Structure 1
Amino acid sequence: MARPRRIVLIRHGESQGNADDTIYERVPDHALLLTAAGERQAQEAGVRLRELFGGERVQAFVSPYRRTHETFHLLGLDPRLTRAKEEPRLREQDWGNYQDAEDVQRQRTARDAYGHFFYRFAQGESGADVYDRVGAFLETLYRAFDNADFPPNVLMVTHGLTMRLFCMRWFHWTVDEFECLSNPGNGETRILLLGPDGKYRLDQPFDRWRTAESDLSRYHG
């Protein structure tokens, strides 16, 4: 089994939706573009990632959204060393077709009170749904590790919530632990590093907005 030395998660650069909530009324979520600031964030992240990867090969998995495709291309990775595949299971949480800004704000408030993992947007997904499809993707990824020629680096160009749920699934965090975490900023990365003991560890934690309360939180593997 060829386990990669690094699994890099990166959130797309700032999108039109990050800058203007009302655009969801006119443009499908998957079709939103990067802003000029988002393009700069992706380019700056590319400088860091090219230095990190050096001359090593990379297997990239990219969410099918426009903003993640744009982010990936602006990273400027060497195409001779990089294999890229679109991966729909790494897409954003589905909020359901065109959106009314006032209704979305109402649902966001309700989600904050109900819980981000369990709250289901009308006509959309809950965090638990995203967790399940991320788990299905992990099964595919584990099978890919069986290839003796698998690259030493994995890159996932995805979304903030999906990044948190990927790590929740990988590290077996509880729901309560997940609820404590904030999304990374646009263009930010989290890296799973393979240690000498064969276990992966995060290079840096997610920011926390509260402390976990569950008695199970201290038993995570």
Structure 2
Amino acid sequence: MATPRVFVVRHGETEWSLSGKHTSVTDIPLTADGEKRVKATGQALVGDDRLIVPKKIAHVYVSPRKRAQRTFELLNLGIAGPLPWKVHGEKPPDGSHSCDARVEVTEDIREWDYGEYEGITSPEIRKIRAKKGLPEDWDIWRDGCVGGESPEDVTRRVDRLIKEIREKWHAPVIGKSKSEEQPPGDVLIVAHGHILRAFAMRWVGKSLQDGPALLLEAGGVGILSYEHHNINEPAILLGGAFVVSPEK
């Protein structure tokens, strides 16, 4: 039985992710270490006998921000067609991978709009709120961002993307037996920390106000799927194994 997956990839390290500054619309590049780590992730996780199998990817969604797009470039999936942006750095050498999926840039997976909190850390946000007479126990999942997006705003756009993924890419393949001809069904998303954590919460039907105790490190990879090969039982896949073909 085929159970499609969604791989969620947070962009690699930037100077602001290192310092804890909230980064949404500010488009800063990956650090040199960030680039190295993403390359290493691609080498370790991408391949016909690895966790992310390029030929099984049906579609790729990428944030409009350059740091996410550069991260996708460095994963080096072997995309056959042109990318919908001009390459942001040195092109990785062609590998042995081949992926026919189309790459789509979508606003639905851009980072949470931090509004007045752009470029500052959580402790700084709490100090600013105190000076304005606002509660200091600020929590983005409950309170959102002044001048930016609320949890309800974010919920609407990630729900829209989840609906599209399930209807367009997963429903046609989920539950089919191995004997049936299967189109690719996995989806890859490359985006940002807060929005991907929100996406994961909504994937399993939790409200953002529930407060996700979920972490996704810079350059990290998470996996979402379904229980019992059932599209009505979405789940977070805590650990996925590499694909190993049986010996003939």
TM-score between the two structures when normalised by the length of structure 2: 0.67
**Aligned position for 2:114:** 95
State percent identity of aligned pairs.
25
**Aligned position for 1:8:** 7
Shift, 1:191, TM fit: 0.7
Contact 1:11-1:157 within 8 A present in 2 as well = yes
**Aligned position for 2:191:** 158
Q: Secondary structure at the match of 1:173?
A: coil
Q: Secondary structure at the match of 2:189?
A: strand
How far apart, in 2, do the equivalents of 1:121 and 1:66 lie? 23
Matched, 1:49 2:46: yes
Moved more, 157-166 or 54-63: 54-63
Q: Secondary structure at the match of 1:29?
A: coil
Moved more, 118-127 or 14-23: 14-23
Cα 1:118–1:150 change in 2 (3 A) is farther
- Please tell me the root mean square deviation across aligned C-alpha atoms, in Å: 3.1
Instruction: Please point out which of 184, 201, 213 is paired with 2:235.
Output: 201
Q: Secondary structure at the match of 2:12?
A: coil
Between Structure 1 and Structure 2, the one with more helix by share is 1
AA in 2 matched with 1:92? E
Contact 1:30-1:64 within 8 A present in 2 as well = no
Q: Deviations over 1:31-67 (max 9, x none)?
A: 2111112112211221213322335232110011111
Contact 1:119-1:127 within 8 A present in 2 as well = yes
Structure 2: any 5+ residue segments left out of the alignment? 81-98, 130-134, 174-181, 240-248
Report how many residues are paired: 198
Instruction: Please point out which of 88, 112, 126 is paired with 2:150.
Output: 126
Contact 1:4-1:150 within 8 A present in 2 as well = no
How far apart, in 1, do the equivalents of 2:195 and 2:119 lie? 23
**Aligned position for 1:40:** 36
Cα 1:167–1:55 change in 2 (3 A) is closer
